[in-house]
Structure 1
Amino acid sequence: MSLYLTRNQVAVVAALALPPAVCAVLVPFRTGMSDADAALVLVVAVVAVAALGHRLAGALAALSAAVWFDFFLTRPYGQFAIGKAADVVTAVLLLAVGIAVSQLAARARKLKVIALTDDDYLAQIHHTVRLAETATSPYTVIDHVCRQLVGLLGLSGCRFEYGTLIGRPPRLEEDGTITWDHRRWDADRDGLPDEELELRVFHNGRFHGRFMLQPAPGAAPPLAARLVAVTLANQVGAELGTAGLAYV
């Protein structure tokens, strides 16, 4: 998380610094370069910032590009004023196109992150299935899934209880939702509850035990991660069922 924030901070700095730097480089060529060509060069700078950071950085870069385009590359030079109507149009279009392109670039980066995350989820499920095929004891699979759940859900700890249903803690359900005292907890809005929650393990309708999940402060796994957690728990249920370790 800290690396992500650092990258976004760098993108904000680049959004403020890169457009004026590009404009300064173009100053010696401004008399022989059309405003449209200069604007296109600045759009490239905006896209570079948007690809590095978030949407805010891209929007700041677009605004910065329009402002410094006015200051450096339109007459009267060195002033925040535009003398020709055509230059006004170019500056406005630069701002609009820069913002639009920056949003598209940020969206594309987000989709790439989602795709990589989905691949990681599938890899975790595949790894557990392969382990279950080769493990000589279901306890090996349980320990492995506990470690997976810690990373997957942002937990501070995880343990497995065999055949116990003491208390009424919050519960991670089969559909990835969370219920607490017969009410649905909005995990997408509020993250995981501060209380320890359970993930029950069944196979063919038989109860085997439950994972007790201890959320770390601020843990807010997405629905996809919660569904993967349920899938991993079901794999443990299948292992315990095969081993004949069932509790009713």
Structure 2
Amino acid sequence: MAALGSRTAGAVAALSAAAWFDFFLTRPYQTFDITASADIETAALLLAVGVMVSQLAARTRKLHIITVTDAAYLARIHRTADLVRSVHSADTVVDHVRTELTELLGLRACRFEYGTLTGRPPRLENDGSVTVGRHTRNPDTDGWPDGEIELRAYGNGHYLGRFLLTPGRGPVPTLRARLVAVTLADQTGAALDTSGPVRGW
């Protein structure tokens, strides 16, 4: 039950197992009365072991989900790194990263601007937080700010361009996803530093 559902479902299943053991297998039968000390110990052990197993199963399920998700994030980073090494066009890298960011962050739109900064939109920072003006905002608790959010790309410490992200209507991406997005922007900066300006974005 815990492997397929939740910790609560597993705990309820363990409680149910102990209750039905009492009802069907202890005297007096078909009642929830229990008098023999051995039967009480057995019911208590059945409940305790059931709860422990359900908690372990739920944790295993959660770790499996985290492992699969982290593997997908790592695959995105590796794909982009391979592309940066194998192509000599920053346009190709920017186009690829735009697609990756759109899928990773559940964006409605994503565009890239090369060159001088204009305006002061909210900015996705290296630690996954968002800066709005002089204030830092935690997307996990405060949600995305309104409008576009910039994600800057640097090469050798120099600003080279930025992605402008338009959040979708779904839930805010996890901190891990936002940190992967920052890494993808850094890889774009490396490509721009090597290949020069992007044309047509």
* TM-score, scaled to structure 2: 0.89
| Counterpart check, 1:94 vs 2:46 | yes
| Counterpart check, 1:70 vs 2:22 | yes
- Given candidates 124, 127, 136, the residue that maps to 1:184 is 136
Give 1:77 deviation, angstroms: 1.7
| Counterpart check, 1:156 vs 2:118 | no
Give 1:239 deviation, angstroms: 1.1
**Counterpart for residue 208 of structure 1:** 160
**Counterpart for residue 172 of structure 1:** 124
**Counterpart for residue 135 of structure 1:** 87
Q: Which stretch has the larger CA shift, 142-151 or 190-199? A: 190-199
Fraction of identical pairs, as percent? 60
Instruction: Give, in whole Å, the separation in 1 of the partners of 2:171 and 2:102.
Output: 10
Instruction: Give, in whole Å, the separation in 1 of the partners of 2:121 and 2:111.
Output: 14
Give 1:189 deviation, angstroms: 2.7
Q: Which runs of 5+ in 1 are unaligned?
A: 1-48
Give 1:92 deviation, angstroms: 2.2
For residues 110-146 of structure 1, give each alpha carbon's deviation from its aligned partner in whole angstroms, at most 9, with x where no partner exists: 1122122222211111101111222342111111111
Q: Which stretch has the larger CA shift, 202-211 or 232-241? A: 202-211
Give the 3-state SS of the residue equivalent to 2:159 in structure 1.
strand
Q: Contact conserved, 1:155 with 1:219, CA < 8 A, in 2? A: no
1:1-248 pair list within 5 angstroms: 49-245=1-197
Instruction: Give, in whole Å, the separation in 1 of the partners of 2:135 and 2:81.
Output: 33
Instruction: Give, in whole Å, the separation in 2 of the partners of 1:62 and 1:164.
Output: 62
For residues 178-230 of structure 1, give each alpha carbon's deviation from its aligned partner in whole angstroms, at most 9, with x where no partner exists: 22122221223344334321101111222222111112224322222211111
* Bigger fraction of residues in helix: 1
Instruction: Calculate the aligned-residue CA RMSD, in Å.
Output: 1.9
Equivalent position amino acid for 1:244 in 2: G
Q: Contact conserved, 2:88 with 2:195, CA < 8 A, in 1? A: no
Equivalent position amino acid for 1:81 in 2: D
Q: Contact conserved, 2:90 with 2:196, CA < 8 A, in 1? A: no
* TM-score, scaled to structure 1: 0.73
Give the number of the structure with larger relative contact order, counting CA–CA contacts within 8 Å between residues 6 or more apart: 2
Task: Assess, with a 3 A threshold, how the Cα gap between structure 1 residues 111 and 210 changes in structure 2: closer, same or farther.
Answer: same
Q: Which runs of 5+ in 2 are unaligned?
A: none
Task: Assess, with a 3 A threshold, how the Cα gap between structure 1 residues 192 and 95 changes in structure 2: closer, same or farther.
Answer: farther
